[in-house]
Amino acid sequence: MNNIRGVVCTLFGGILWGFSGACGQYIFSHYQLKPIELTFFRMTISGVILLTICAFKEKSGCFSVWRSVKNSVQVSAFAIFGIMFSQVTYLETISRSNAGTATVLQYTGPCMLVLLVCLMKKRLPTVREISALILATSGTFILATHGNPSALALSPSALVWGLLSAVALVLYTTLPEKLMLRFGTLEVTGWAMLTGGVILGIVLRVWNLRVQMGADGWICLLCVAVLGTAAAYTLYLQGVADIGPVKASMLASVEPLSATLFSVFWLKSEFRIPDLIGFVCIIATVFILARAKEKKQKSEI
């Protein structure tokens, strides 16, 4: 029963992540809201929601992470260089391309993480890791050029922001690891979201911010913050608890497929055959690396 629940929760979490990317694309194509402004709303609202859930779930409350200077600094670093950096670069990529392309480019992050691990441990990549790196590089090349290196099919700014979002994904994955083991993912992520939102609010001087959107824009904004962040993250965590991180990460890769389908059928984005080939190459790396991690875990048992 738990396996079924884990699969369903993880799939729905991934679909909601993809849907939120499409909602962001809708906002950017219809209104003048900037990616950094949407990031402020997204982080602040979802931070409040996640901390509210944490307060009800945790008997010890949700303030323990602030009880030491070291932990406070780590949470703040995660908020700025992990979540904020990740959200801004991802939404900037969407504003310059579309939700499907932005999500797929972000998924080159695991391969960057592999390279980082190899450098830190001073070892060569395994055969599986090399295969994943080749696929990720090939997929990015095909997306950017459609196979013609003399002409870019993707704007340079979209490509740069997309690759930066992949770097941000690496930081998002590595920065909070010890904190989450100690305090739990809900508390750490909730505070990082809220902290990042408050910092962005100060930078943007949110008290002077005038957002002019229709009801459809505000609904999409709430979908990004509530469904695509707080709900998706909570569902994914439940999936991880039920079926484990390896299977959950593979199932959550439905996110780029979801984002692409919403872009095509709702927002009428156009994708060509080379785009789809690039998508497949990059998403395949998720399964290769996840299987490699699963095999390694079994060998250690």
Q: How confident is the model at residue 301 (pLDDT cuts 50, 70, 90)?
A: low
pLDDT at 298 over 90: no
The residue type at 111: C
* Over residues 218-238, mean pLDDT: 93
Cβ-based neighbour number of residue 258 at 10 Å: 24
The answer to whether 102 and 218 have CB atoms below 8 angstroms apart is: no
What is the Cα–Cα distance from 91 to 28, expressed in whole angstroms?
A: 9
Cα–Cα distance list, 258 to 17, 134, 149, 170, 262 (Å): 8, 24, 29, 22, 6
The answer to whether 198 and 39 have CB atoms below 8 angstroms apart is: no
**Whole-number pLDDT of residue 59:** 67
- What is the DSSP track for 92-112? HHHHHS-HHHHHHHHTTHHHH
Q: How confident is the model at residue 150 (pLDDT cuts 50, 70, 90)?
A: confident
Which pair of tokens denotes residue 4?
């079924």
**Whole-number pLDDT of residue 185:** 87
* Over residues 76-104, mean pLDDT: 96
**Whole-number pLDDT of residue 171:** 92
Q: How confident is the model at residue 163 (pLDDT cuts 50, 70, 90)?
A: very high
pLDDT at 152 over 90: no
Q: What is the pLDDT of residues 7-62, one digit of tens each?
A: 999 999 999 999 999 999 999 999 999 999 999 999 999 999 999 999 888 766 78
**Whole-number pLDDT of residue 244:** 82
Which pair of tokens denotes residue 240?
């991880």
Q: Rounded to 5 degrees, what angle do the CA atoms 189, 74, 65 make? A: 60
Q: Quick one: what percent of the chain has pLDDT higher than 90?
A: 68
Highest mean pLDDT among 24-28, 122-126, 183-187, 254-258: 24-28
Cβ-based neighbour number of residue 295 at 10 Å: 13
pLDDT at 296 over 70: no
Write down the mean pLDDT value for the chain: 91
pLDDT at 245 over 80: no
Q: What is the pLDDT of residues 96-138, one digit of tens each?
A: 999 999 999 999 999 998 898 899 889 999 998 899 999 999 9
**Whole-number pLDDT of residue 50:** 93
pLDDT at 75 over 70: yes
The residue type at 126: T
**Whole-number pLDDT of residue 151:** 80
**Whole-number pLDDT of residue 184:** 87
Of the candidates 17, 10, 41, 95, the residue with the CA atom closest to the CA atom of residue 267: 95
